[in-house]
Amino acid sequence: PVPLLLVEPEVEIYPVQSGSLPRTDRLVCAVMDFYPPEIEVKWFKNGQEEVERVVVTDVIQNGDWTYQVLVMLETTPQPGDTYTCHVEHVSLQQPLTRDWGQWDGGHSKMLVGVGGLVLGPAALALGLLVYLRSKKGEWRGRGAVPALTRVAPPPWW
């Protein structure tokens, strides 16, 4: 019988490095927040199922009656390889798949985020500098720097 409560799993893939070398040697498929606990998770490399280098944790119960499992593939990804985590669960109409290429997924999102954090303030500073220089030229033409006036705080302060 099918349980009355079904919760679809969430799936995320992330690379893991072990040791001091800066290269990935494992991919982890984290399957989280699903119910009931029975689940099947498989790894594929370029469309071929991987069975020998796969390590699976026990299915662990979360505090909210849902479950999670980690399925690790021991591999060193090469450029052009595509890895797929394939999840089958009673809550899903069809199997759920997540792909990971060497520069896909969270890694590229992280690079975009870091780039935005670095370039955003730099662009803001450059824009402010250009604006202030253009204003400085206007003030010279008038012969005086405008005075700052004190503004009263809003009444709710």
Q: Which CATH superfamily is domain 10-101 in?
A: Immunoglobulins (2.60.40.10)
Domain ranges of the chain: 10-101, 103-138
Whole-model pTM: value is 0.62
Q: What is the CA radius of gyration of the chain?
A: 27
The per-residue pLDDT of the chain, averaged, comes to 80
pLDDT tens digits, one per residue of 7-62: 999 999 999 887 776 677 899 999 999 999 999 999 999 999 999 999 999 999 99
Q: Is the dihedral of CA 36, 44, 18, 108 positive or negative?
A: negative
Q: How far is CA 60 from CA 16, 116, 119, in A?
A: 20, 37, 41
DSSP state of 27: E
In the block, residue with structure tokens 């009931």: 36
